[in-house]
Amino acid sequence: HYREIKAADKRMHPFAEQKAWEDHQVNKAIMRFGSKDRKSKSEYELIFDNQIEFVQDELVHGENYKEDPSNELPEKSGARSTFEKLQNDRKTLPVYPYRDELLQAVEKHQVLVVVGETGSGKTTQIPQYLHEAGYTKHGKIGCTQPRRVAAMSVAARVSQEMGVKLGHEVGYAIRFEDCTSEKTVIKYMTDGMLLREFLGEPDLSSYSVVIVDEAHERTVCTDVLFGLVKDIARFRPDLKLIISSATLDAVRFSDYFDNAPIFKVPGRRFPVEIHYTKAPEADYLDAAIVTVLHIHVTESPGDGDILVFLTGQEEIESAEEILKQRTKSLGTRMPELIICPIYANLPTELQAKIFEPTPEGARKVVLATNIAETSLTIDGIKYVIDTGFVKIKSYNPRTGIESLLVTPISKASANQRAGRSGRTGPGKCFRLYTFHSYSNEMEDNTVPEIQRTNLANVVLSLKSLGISDVSGFDFMDPPAQECLIQALKLLYALGALNKKGELTKVGRKMAEFPLDPMLSKMIIASDKYKCSDEILSIAAMLSTGSLIFYRPKKKLLYADNARKLFYAGNVGDHVALVNVYRSWKENDYSHQWCYENYVQVKSMKRARDIRDQLEGLLERVEIELTSNPGDLEAIQKAITSGYFPNSARLQKTGSYKTFKYGQTAHIHPSSGLAFSFPKLVVYHELVLTSKEYMRQVTELKPEWLVEIAPHYYRLKDVKDSEAKKKRPCGEGLGI
Ligand code: CDP
Ligand code: MG
């Protein structure tokens, strides 16, 4: 069978022959975790010494850990109800033997750092233990997650375990989706949501416990939360604070939280064999697919499932397609390969699929983004394929480009990924990179997001929380001063801050919206131009986080023709979004209409949800819903009011140059303006993929820039035929 795959591939795969793996003893390492059956070091090339030492030496509960709880699993019996089964499963989790000790520690200390292997039960169990111990009598337990999918799926799991309906006692809140009620006592939410709750409830008085979970992920919101919860803990002695992490940073967290004690939950890990490729892989996606198929045909299916780490939705979708084709060509002799994608924007109903047990005789392959590294635990994984890449955000304050770049992972990430294969039995990890690049090229840890992102949003939130000196904020790892200054300048230019750096009335209104400051400003400005209805549709469509138009490969021409119809007047992509939304609404939000027009139903539904919520917020900022569908100029001006810093001018070469940074950029080929080359445009975002691309672009007139942002643009500059020099925009604003 393998020969068949190879033939299909017309190339030799690095793992083609078992012998090649054997030969590569040097490139082979075996991690052993846990204290049982530890083989002597000399038997293996132990490359993960540090990690082993960590697990070995720092297990404070090591001696107490007598029995292997998995032995307790009673015989499966059809008669037992799901509820009982879940209760039994709970008792098999590594955290369970430490339940009482943990509760005592929480009782004794206000702040506790909890560290434990992914899958040990921190996220699902600790809130339940606290609930059972009475912590919800006088307040809620809030548990933050860096990812939406994790917040939703964990809440669903816990509600099952507690035998309650999701949204009642146990609920979740993510941006634009609140699944909680009066009854809710355990609330899972994204870290960004808790940050927003601070705006309405600065002391979080409705909470008795706050758990900042997955702290090791170090998202911007988590980092800001650290500073805020540390502060409120000082004047709310009744509030319990738990910082929970899956990795080794415990000491840093403890240091930051005034030497808070560390509670370690020993993991249960089995040995993991690590294989590296001999030479760097030119095409990691292809290598990953071949490796999946190789495992599938050479290892018996009942043996275990496969987890592949890829970088994003598109890549996962194409891997899924290729795998489907190739397994089909292998014929029916092969056991079934169930393909389960998982990424942040995967519709909720499909997410559950990855947790379903694999039927006998079949094998599951989970194609995941980094989300499966620590946020989600999927049982039954025995093989991990690690491409060695992750898509992360990076921001360059000098060019203003925020890019999602496919970047090599850190060593810490690589080890987390490998560990995912050794949860239920010995595992194997195939690293699609060389040992040399692991040891010499990978960073030890991933840089915290706060040091590689645009901070305008964070700064606006902090300012609206009354924190005037943002650079003096107690960050665990402070962001670069340059980034803070850029954020302050942008907020000043948008009118959210005054010259002294204080929040203005406009800024206060902007902070009401859970959106990027430029989007919020666009909405605020739409009041002036009497087109808030249209602008809300744009804001909602831009916030869905997924594609609006559907372009099936076989029907590209039809799809593109259908799309052109929305570009009437052809001023740009924003107006096209309004047109899409309006037509959909006029057709009673019909699915059929979406299919006929090659528009994604799911994105539209989400846009409608978001739009409803934004409309609800209009009242709070005293803006009336006004509409003037015929007046495109009004819409363009409202967009420009939020996005004037993102303007770019056509060059003789056919490319564009941004006003602010003199950065060369191109209109993204997916834009309706890609081939019409308007002289001057505003763009929603500038992303770096194969080139610097502007996405969601609208044409504008130079005079508007001066009319709307006279503090930012001078007529003689915008009228110049070409941007000759970098305009020092926003310089000398006295902030
Ligand atoms: O937070 P931590 O990584 O320590 O573990 P957890 O998320 O509490 O997961 C504990 C166990 O719950 C996992 O091993 C899964 O078996 C199960 N779980 C699940 O089945 N479905 C979920 N959505 C989440 C967890
Ligand atoms: Mg967790």
What is the number of the ligand closest to the CA of 215?
Answer: 2
Pocket of ligand 1 contains residue 267 by CB under 6 Å = no
Nearest ligand 1 atom, CA 118: 3
Task: Return the DSSP state at 204.
Answer: -
Q: What is the 16 CA–ligand 2 centroid distance (Å)?
A: 36
Nearest ligand 1 atom, CA 379: 16
Query: CA torsion 535→541→544→550, rounded to 10°?
Result: -170
Nearest ligand 1 atom, CA 126: 8
Q: What is the 210 CA–ligand 2 centroid distance (Å)?
A: 14
Q: What is the 376 CA–ligand 2 centroid distance (Å)?
A: 7
What is the number of the ligand closest to the CA of 121?
Answer: 1
Nearest ligand 1 atom, CA 125: 8
Pocket of ligand 1 contains residue 121 by CB under 6 Å = yes
Nearest-CA residue for ligand 1 atom 12 is 121
**Total length of the chain:** 735
Residue 720's pLDDT is what?
61
Residue 377's pLDDT is what?
80
Above 0.90 for ipTM, yes or no? yes
Nearest ligand 1 atom, CA 95: 4
Report the candidate in 493, 495, 603, 489 with the shortest Cα–Cα distance to residue 546. 603
Q: Are 157 and 376 in contact (CB under 8 A)?
A: no
Q: Are 166 and 179 in contact (CB under 8 A)?
A: yes
The CA-based angle 128-132-137, given to 5 degrees, is 105
Q: What is the 150 CA–ligand 2 centroid distance (Å)?
A: 8
650-660 pLDDT per residue, tens: 999 989 999 87
pTM for this prediction:
0.80
Pocket of ligand 1 contains residue 157 by CB under 6 Å = yes
> Which pair of tokens denotes residue 413?
């990430």
Nearest-CA residue for ligand 1 atom 10 is 121
Distance CA 196, CA 194 (A): 5
- Sheet of strand 111-116, all strands in order from the earlier edge strand to the far edge: 177-179, 170-174, 186-190, 140-145, 207-212, 240-245, 111-116, 262-265
Pocket of ligand 1 contains residue 118 by CB under 6 Å = yes
Decide: helix, strand or coil at residue 241: strand
Distance CA 676, CA 699 (A): 10
Pocket of ligand 1 contains residue 646 by CB under 6 Å = no
- Give me the helix-helix angle, 532-542 and 573-586, nearest 10°: 100
What is the number of the ligand closest to the CA of 122?
Answer: 1
Residue 248's pLDDT is what?
65
626-671 pLDDT per residue, tens: 998 889 999 999 999 999 999 999 999 989 999 878 889 999 988 9
Distance CA 640, CA 705 (A): 7
Residue 394's pLDDT is what?
82
What is the number of the ligand closest to the CA of 70?
Answer: 1
Residue 32's pLDDT is what?
24
Distance CA 96, CA 92 (A): 7
Q: What is the 224 CA–ligand 1 centroid distance (Å)?
A: 26
Nearest-CA residue for ligand 1 atom 15 is 377
Q: What is the 412 CA–ligand 2 centroid distance (Å)?
A: 17
Which amino acid does the sequence have at 11? R
Q: Which residues of the chain have a pLDDT value below 50?
A: 1-79, 721-735
The CB density around residue 707, as the number of other CB atoms within 10 Å, is 14
Nearest-CA residue for ligand 1 atom 16 is 379
Q: What is the 215 CA–ligand 1 centroid distance (Å)?
A: 16
Q: What is the 121 CA–ligand 1 centroid distance (Å)?
A: 6
Residue 545's pLDDT is what?
79
Decide: helix, strand or coil at residue 339: strand
Pocket of ligand 1 contains residue 160 by CB under 6 Å = no
Pocket of ligand 1 contains residue 144 by CB under 6 Å = no
What is the number of the ligand closest to the CA of 120?
Answer: 1
Query: CA torsion 80→84→86→89, rounded to 10°?
Result: -90
Which amino acid does the sequence have at 695? R
Ligand 1 probe mutation, 377, 381, 423, most atoms within 8 A of CB: 377
Q: Which residue has the tokens 């870290």?
A: 191
Q: What is the 70 CA–ligand 1 centroid distance (Å)?
A: 15
Q: CA 689: distance to chain centroid?
A: 18
Ligand 1 probe mutation, 124, 147, 374, most atoms within 8 A of CB: 124
Q: What is the 133 CA–ligand 1 centroid distance (Å)?
A: 21
Decide: helix, strand or coil at residue 186: strand
**For residue 533, what are the contacts with CB-CB under 8 A and spacing of at least 6?**
625, 626, 627
Residue 37's pLDDT is what?
30
Pocket of ligand 1 contains residue 116 by CB under 6 Å = yes
Residues at Cβ < 5 Å from ligand 2 ion: 123
Pocket of ligand 1 contains residue 351 by CB under 6 Å = no
Q: What is the 12 CA–ligand 1 centroid distance (Å)?
A: 38
Terminus-to-terminus CA distance in the chain, angstroms? 67
